[in-house]
Amino acid sequence: MNIPAELNLGLSWNNRFTQLGKSFYTHLRPTPLPNVHWVSCNHALAREMGFEPDFFDSPQLLDALSGNGVIKGSSPLASVYSGHQFGHWAGQLGDGRALYLGEIQTTNGSVELQLKGAGKTPYSRSGDGRAVLRSSIREYLCSEAMHALSIPTTRALSITGSKGIVYREEVETAAVVARVSPSFIRFGHFEHFSANGETENLKQLADFVINEYSDVLTRQNEIALTHENDIAKEVENNKYARLLLQVVIKTAKLIANWQSVGFCHGVMNTDNMSILGLTIDYGPFQFMDNFDVNHICNHSDHSGRYAYGQQPNIGLWNLYCLGQSLLPLIADKDLTVKCLEFYKEAFSESMLQLSLKKLGFNENIDHPDISSLVPKINSIIQMQGADFTVFWRTLSHCVSHSTGPHDLLAFDKISEMLKHENARSLWLDFLPTYLNLLSKSDQTNEQIGLNMLKINPKFVLRNHLGETAIKKAQAGDFSEVDILLKILTTPYDEHEAYDDYANPPPDWAKSISISCSS
C-alpha cells in the first residue's frame, strides 16, 4: 500500500497538549487500513468549523481521517491515564484505540481532532486498537444528536470504513470516527499522576487545564444556580479548589441534562468522564424507551451500577475520585469536601429547572405547588412505564392545543396512554393543578406548548433506529446513517416524512443488547 508520509491539507495546527511533555503521552503514527471509503461526512459540523463546501472531496482527507497517513503540522499521540472501572481501581489505562492528531484552528476556536480506531497504541493492553463499524455509527450519530439537544458533548466530523477485518463477538469490519472536542482530558488523567505520586506532573496538568480552558470551565449555560457565586467566593484564593468546583458544577449540569432526556451513558467509569463536563466515550449508551428509573442499558453491567437512576450518584462518586486526586494541590480537605458536596445542590437545582421547562414553566412563577409537580409527573411516567420521549412530546402538543385551565379534554391522548389504573388516577389528580399553574403565565397555552416543543424532542437515537442503520451499512448502504443524522440534528422539527422514526420500538427491538465491545 502506497501511503504518503505526509498529507498537506492546509490546516492550521496549535497542539497545546504536546507542551505537557513525554510523561503524558507517546508519539506514534496511525496504523493504515486497507480499501478505505467514506461512510458519512458531517457537512454541518465542517461548515461550523469554517471549512469550504468541498472539504470532504479530497482523497487526501479520506486517507487522513482513516489513519492512512500523517497530516502536515499534526502531532499524533496517545495519552496515558488511569481510572476506576465499575467502582474498582484499574490502574494504568490510556488511549487504547484513540489517537490525538493535534489541535486545529477553526472559526469556532481551537479544537482537538482525534481518530478513534486508528490502530494499536502502547495503552491498548490486549486490544487491537480498532473500532468496528457498528459502534462507530452509534458514536457518530449520538455525538451529533446530543449536541442538537444542547447537551455538552464531543462531536463527530466523519466516519470512514474499511474492508479490514476486526474480531469481536463475531467477525466485523473496521471503521474510524474523527472526533472533535475542545479537549479530551479526563478525570483519569489526574488520577494517573496522583496515584503514582507524581505531584509535579499533577500540578502541571492542573495548571494546563486552568490556563488553557478557563473559558470553557467558566462558560455559563442557561442553568443559573442560586448559591454558585457564594461558594465561588470561598475558593477565590485556591485555584485548584476553584478548578474542582468548576468541574463539579459542569458535571452536575451535564448529568441533569442526561436525565432530562432519558439518556443512559452505560459506562460512567472515571476514565470516561471529561474534565470539561462533556459527554464523552459513547459505548453501550441508550435513550430510554419505556421509562424505568432502574433501567440498565449495558448488558455487561450486571450489578446495575450505571443504571439510569444511579447516574447522578455515580457522578458524585467519580468527582470524589477526582477530588482525592487533586487534594495534594488543594491542600485543604474541608474545602475539597465542601466543593464536592456542592454537587448535590447543583444537580438538584439543575434537574428541577430542566424538569419545569419540560412542563412549560420558562418563567419564574412563585407558587408553593409548582415544585411538587416534578415528582408527581415522574411517578406517573414511572408507574405506567410510558415511553419517555413520546410522553413528553405528546404533553407538549396537548398543552399547545388546550384553551385554558378547564380544558381537560385537550389531554385525552395522555389519558389514553395511561393504562395503569394508579397512573391514570395520579394523572387526573395532577392535571387540574398543572393547568391552573400554567394559567398564571403571561403566555397563552398555545405559546407555552410551542415552547415545550422546542425543549421536548420528537426524535432521539433509539436503539432500533441505530440497529437498522448499522445493518444497512454493514451491507454497503450508508443512506440510513445520513437520514438519521438529518433528523437527529433537528430533533424538535416535525419531519412528517419520518414520523415512524419517532415511534416506540417494535417488538423485535426488545432483544437488542448493547455491550462495551466496540
> Catalytic residue at 271?
yes
Mean predicted lDDT score pLDDT of the chain? 95
Residue 470: which pLDDT band, with cuts at 50, 70 and 90?
very high
Q: Could you report the per-residue pLDDT of 177-193, keeping only the tens digit for each?
A: 999 999 999 999 999 99
Quote the Cα angle for 514-489-37, to 5°: 70
Q: Select which of 63, 95, 271, 301 is catalytic.
A: 271
- Distance from C-alpha of 453 to C-alpha of 442, rounded to nearest angstrom: 18
Instruction: Provide the residue type at 190 as one letter.
Output: F
How many of the other CB atoms lie within 10 Å of CB of 217?
20
Q: Which of 510, 422, 504, 399 is nearest to 458 (CA)?
A: 504
**Widest CA span in the chain:** 73
Q: What is the pTM of this model?
A: 0.96
- Please give the average per-residue pLDDT across 249-254, as a whole number: 98
Radius of gyration of the chain (CA): 23
236 burial via Cβ count (<10 Å: 0-12, 13-18, 19+)? exposed
Is residue 1 very low, low, confident or very high in pLDDT (cuts 50, 70, 90)? very low
Q: What is the pLDDT of residues 323-337, one digit of tens each?
A: 999 999 999 999 999
3-state secondary structure 144-193: HHHHHCCCCECEEEEEEEEEEEEECCCEEEEEEEEEEECCCCEHHHHHHH
Strands, DSSP E only, in 269-420? 286-287
Query: How far is 460 from 264, CA to CA, in rounded Å?
Result: 12
Q: Which tens digits make up the pLDDT trace of 363-413?
A: 777 777 888 999 999 999 999 999 999 999 999 999 999 999 999 999 999
* 3-class secondary-structure state, position 230: helix
Question: Which pLDDT value is given to residue 518?
Answer: 63
